[in-house]
Amino acid sequence: MLLIDLLRSRTRIDLRHAVGLLSLASIATTMVLIIVNLAAEQAEDGVASMRYLGMMALSLIGYIWAQKKSSDLIAAEVEHILHQLRLSLFDRVRKAAPDTLAKVGQGAVQTALTQEMQTVSAALPLMLNGVQQVVLIICVAAYLAWLSTFAFVMISVLAVVVSTIHLQRMRKINAATRDAIDDENLLFGGLTDLLHGFKEVKMNSRRRDALLGALNDRSIRARDTKSVVKAQWSREFALIQLAFYGMMAAMVFIVPIFTSDYHDVAVQTTTAALFMIGPIGAVVASVPSFTDSDVALRKINDIDHQLEDALDAQHAQEATNGTSSPETLEKLGGALGNIAEISLRDVRFAYPGTTDSPGFAVGPINATFKKGEITFITGGNGAGKSTIIAVLTGLRPAASGSIMVNDCPLPSDALQLYRDHFATVLSDYHLFRELYGIDDIDPKRVETLLKQMEIDDNVEIDDNAFSTTSLSQGQRKRLALIAALLEEKPVLVLDEWAADQDPHFRSVFYEKILPSLRKQGKIIICVTHDDRWFDAADTIYHVRDGEFVDGRQTTSA
Ligand SMILES: Nc1ncnc2c1ncn2[C@@H]1O[C@H](COP(=O)(O)OP(=O)(O)OP(=O)(O)O)[C@@H](O)[C@H]1O
């Protein structure tokens, strides 16, 4: 079972210690049963034994101590294991290239990190409680064996028969559980469409009806498969309860026929059997969550392996390019510390294609971006501007050609080092409310930037975070630019940044903000369609079909 493998492989504690504590709690509980039986015998003779009362108090103290110790240990350990699992997935996501993540599916990774983790989180404590109850059942069974060997053998045979039937039926239930979870995930996918596309759904009643129809169908399927699983489990509970009552009946009607001295222990044996109802119920009730968590863990593992395979392929590709020597990295570090220019030399890149058509390709690209200069990249939709930006910023590794920092070629194993020198607001940017990675923010600088972006009335920075991001599209982009500028990087890349700005602020951007950034000595690269302000650039590259067709030096800048 994956859950047990997970516990074994990830735990920091000695599992024998935890099981020992759980067993101690079970033994203490069994002691209570034995003492009650013995005290009851004395009570029949009208004697109230203080010795048994003391022993019972000791057993209860032992139970409470072991239970508290084991609960604390297990609760901390369960959360530690989940934390480890999350970190491992975060790490793989961190290392993944954009294509790797796209291949596995962002939605699948998100589901693994949220829904499936929650299922496992709920199941782990139940499973450990189940272990305790199993130990308790074993202890009570041993007590039964001591009271009456015949009763014990009979119960054991009955337990083996019922367990065999139960396990057979479990296979069917497990398969149905997997179907139910798949149906539920399909339903959640549709819900994401409904919530993310809420406005589009509101605007179009045909789309709304079609989407709600599909959601309804998926919900019906999820309902039906789930109710089949629940009905199967109810039948299982009934079977186990029936077996239990059968066992009680056998003890009071059948055992006395075959054993002569049974009447001496009949009451104790029946009490012990009754004592098992709770633990058996708890064990049976915890089984469905094991099944759910096993399915959830399989899904998490699956995503983990898919990411791992994609990363292995990525690393194999990187390995063919070799590893840079410390001298090369040192030279590159020096160049990056004082970037005068970045050049692309015969750079090519292509998206993976399909069997029917090759992926879109850019290159050969030749261009130079200089410190203290503004470069515009223009071109029609789909010409390849954003793809070139992705290669230039090191988000996508070039297939051939070279990127030069000053006169130093960028090796493919130093892309992260290179990327760390860029601040970007890309076309599909994400605005973080928290200014992650930006420390010691100077409040005066923030004030100036907020004023310069004309949003000082709407936003402030508190505790390293924007006070709000609930703003208009244009204002959100201004915040993204502030965050990029606070990073204080030597290269600034903006992909269609001004597209959402009003005419007034566009002129502020092109006529004031960009020139002041040029004065600061940054390399500024902007993808833009704003031909009215082409004069603001020092150099303009025009892209057509993945190539620069015109690189012109403007005169006015
Ligand atoms: N992730 C991707 N996987 C495969 N192909 C892609 C991917 N992203 C873009 N493309 C292909 O690359 C082409 C160029 O896209 P790109 O985004 O670079 O164009 P663009 O010039 O920035 O366009 P726009 O002005 O519309 O933003 C697209 O036509 C598309 O076919």
- CA 401 to mean position of chain CA atoms: 37
DSSP state of 510: I
- Ligand 1: distance of its center to the CA of 5 in Å? 44
ipTM metric: 0.97
- Ligand 1: distance of its center to the CA of 426 in Å? 13
Choose among 228, 222, 217: nearest CA to 176.
228
Could you tell me if the CB of 397 is within 6 A of ligand 1? Answer: no
Give the model's pLDDT for residue 77. 81
- Ligand 1: distance of its center to the CA of 388 in Å? 10
Give the model's pLDDT for residue 539. 93
Give the model's pLDDT for residue 557. 43
Query: Ligand 1 atom closest to Cα of 384?
Result: 18
Domain spanning 326-553, CATH class: alpha beta
Give the model's pLDDT for residue 545. 92
Could you tell me if the CB of 90 is within 6 A of ligand 1? Answer: no
Could you tell me if the CB of 383 is within 6 A of ligand 1? Answer: yes
Could you tell me if the CB of 119 is within 6 A of ligand 1? Answer: no
Query: Ligand 1 atom closest to Cα of 427?
Result: 27
Could you tell me if the CB of 386 is within 6 A of ligand 1? Answer: yes
Query: Ligand 1 atom closest to Cα of 546?
Result: 14
pLDDT one digit per residue (tens) for the chain, 557 residues:
666 677 677 777 777 787 888 888 888 988 988 898 888 888 877 777 888 899 999 999 998 998 888 888 877 887 888 888 888 888 888 877 777 777 777 777 877 888 788 888 887 777 777 878 888 888 888 888 888 888 888 888 887 888 788 777 777 777 777 777 777 777 877 787 788 888 888 888 888 888 888 888 888 888 888 888 888 878 887 887 788 788 888 878 887 887 777 777 788 888 888 887 788 877 877 777 777 778 788 888 888 888 888 778 777 776 777 777 888 888 889 989 999 999 999 999 998 888 888 889 997 999 999 999 999 999 999 999 999 999 999 988 898 999 999 989 998 888 888 999 999 999 888 888 888 888 888 888 889 999 999 998 989 888 888 888 889 999 999 999 999 999 999 999 999 999 989 999 999 999 999 999 999 999 999 999 988 889 899 999 999 999 988 766 654 44
Give the model's pLDDT for residue 67. 84
Separation between Cα atoms, residue 537 and residue 6, nearest integer Å: 57
Give the model's pLDDT for residue 316. 78
Q: Which contiguous run of DSSP H or E holds residue 190? A: helix 149-196
Give the model's pLDDT for residue 553. 60
- Ligand 1: distance of its center to the CA of 295 in Å? 38
Could you tell me if the CB of 481 is within 6 A of ligand 1? Answer: no
Query: Ligand 1 atom closest to Cα of 387?
Result: 18
Give the model's pLDDT for residue 52. 86
Could you tell me if the CB of 358 is within 6 A of ligand 1? Answer: no
Distance set, CA 225 to CA 118, 122, 174, 228, 339 (Å): 21, 21, 12, 5, 61
Best of 100, 354, 386 for a ligand 1 pocket test (most atoms within 8 Å of beta carbon)? 386
Could you tell me if the CB of 385 is within 6 A of ligand 1? Answer: yes
Tokens at 125, concatenated: 């404590």
CB atoms within 10 A of CB 109: 21
Give the model's pLDDT for residue 551. 66
Beta-carbon contacts of 26 under 8 Å, excluding residues fewer than 6 positions away, are 132, 133, 135, 136, 138, 139
Could you tell me if the CB of 382 is within 6 A of ligand 1? Answer: yes
- Ligand 1: distance of its center to the CA of 371 in Å? 28
Determine which residue's CA is closest to atom 10 belonging to ligand 1.
360
CB 489 within 8 A of CB 337: no
Where in the chain are the domains? 1-148, 149-264, 326-553
Could you tell me if the CB of 412 is within 6 A of ligand 1? Answer: no
- Ligand 1: distance of its center to the CA of 395 in Å? 14
Give the model's pLDDT for residue 540. 94
Could you tell me if the CB of 387 is within 6 A of ligand 1? Answer: yes
Give the model's pLDDT for residue 2. 66
- Ligand 1: distance of its center to the CA of 496 in Å? 14
- Ligand 1: distance of its center to the CA of 384 in Å? 6
Could you tell me if the CB of 379 is within 6 A of ligand 1? Answer: yes
CB 305 within 8 A of CB 92: no
Best of 387, 525, 541 for a ligand 1 pocket test (most atoms within 8 Å of beta carbon)? 387
CB 536 within 8 A of CB 373: no
Phi and psi based region of residue 329 (left: phi greater than 0; alpha: psi -120 to 50; beta: remaining): alpha
Best of 347, 351, 395, 542 for a ligand 1 pocket test (most atoms within 8 Å of beta carbon)? 351
- Ligand 1: distance of its center to the CA of 328 in Å? 33
